[in-house]
Amino acid sequence: MTLKCFYTNKTVMFRMTPSKKRNGKMKWLAVADYHEMSRAGAERICNVIAEASKARRRVNIGLATGNTMLELYPALAKMLDENKVMLDLLHTYNLDEYVADGKAVPHSHPLSYYTYMHENLFRHIDPALGLTEDRIHFPDPLNPDAFDAELAAGGGLDLQLLGIGFNGHIAFNEPQSESEISAGEFAELPTRVISLKPLTIETNSRLTAGGREDVVPRQAVSMGMKPILAAKKMLLLACFPEQAKPLSAMKHGRPTPELPASYLLEHKDSEIIYTADQITLK
């Protein structure tokens, strides 16, 4: 597929750099830096959407938030716009949203993921391409089961974009001891409201709230491991030095609730792209 590169005025043919398999079926790709990680991630998502659009079939993309994705989303919007990829059959499903007083935080909340997505992706997409608000989905803490049911009825995720927490969480599926829950039970967890671990609160306050832990809600509604792992493709991006530890543990480990991201190891089509200037795997 020929795409116009986000960072130049030249039209180029993007070439998918082969990834190396380090453990099981998972592919690992080290890229130079954050810029290259963002471009590679946007390229992969754009290709999945474009192929479905050309075939005139529905496509479901799972989306993540956070600093890791800040450059990816404008790049993706640029690729979709410049290639006139029709989005009238695209559905997006966000992984999570913060919860306060039992409800999703308002869009005016400084950490609202709904607002994050609109500011970083959706407002950059040409409305003429056909993406409408009714096909942008977030889990509802008041009825999380409905999110899973709607996603399953729509055919499940074609691609799930993920980050990785410094403690190895994906979405807000926090680590749990194997004495609390078996590996099989953890893989079957549905979308639900979750209480956040202290490390997650501290990390998110530092990265997104200017160090103010009081701004970070103590709960979130999170897509469960079951719908995440059912995705046809998994794409995990990592760019922080602190992520080297959980990634290295994945490289040498096995799927365990104590490291939620480790469940990608046995997925049939999963890839990790990480920045070599910040992350060294052991």
Q: With respect to CATH, is domain 21-275 assigned 3.40.50.200?
A: no
Using DSSP, state whether 241 is helix, strand or coil. helix
Number of alpha carbons in the 13 Å side-chain half-sphere of residue 114: 17
Reduced to 3 DSSP states, what percent helix, strand and coil does the chain have, rounded to the nearest 5? 40, 20, 40
User: What is the set of active-site residues?
Assistant: 96, 167, 169, 174
C-alpha distances in Å from residue 248, one per residue of 55, 163, 220, 241: 39, 15, 27, 11
Give the model's pLDDT for residue 20. 46
Tokens 């809600």 sit on residue: 217
For residue 25, the model assigns a pLDDT of 78
List, for the chain, all residue ranges whose pLDDT scores fall below the cut of 70.
1-24
Helix (H) or strand (E) holding 21: strand 20-23
Residue 17's pLDDT is what?
A: 32
**Spatial distance between the Cα atoms of 205 and 111, rounded to a whole number of angstroms:** 10
What are the residue ranges of helices labelled H in the chain?
A: 34-55, 72-82, 113-120, 144-153, 183-187, 198-208, 225-229, 244-252
Eight-state DSSP code of residue 125:
S
Q: Which sequence spans correspond to the domains of the chain? A: 21-275
Structure tokens at 87: 């989005």
> What DSSP state is assigned to residue 158?
S
Phi, psi (rounded to 5 degrees) for 34: -60, -40
pLDDT digits 0-9 by tens, 194-251:
999 999 999 999 999 999 999 999 999 999 999 999 999 999 999 999 999 999 999 9
CB neighbours of residue 132 within 10 Å: 10
pLDDT of 104: 98
Q: What is the pTM of this model?
A: 0.91
Q: Give the model confidence (pLDDT) of 81-96 as tens digits.
A: 999 999 999 999 999 9
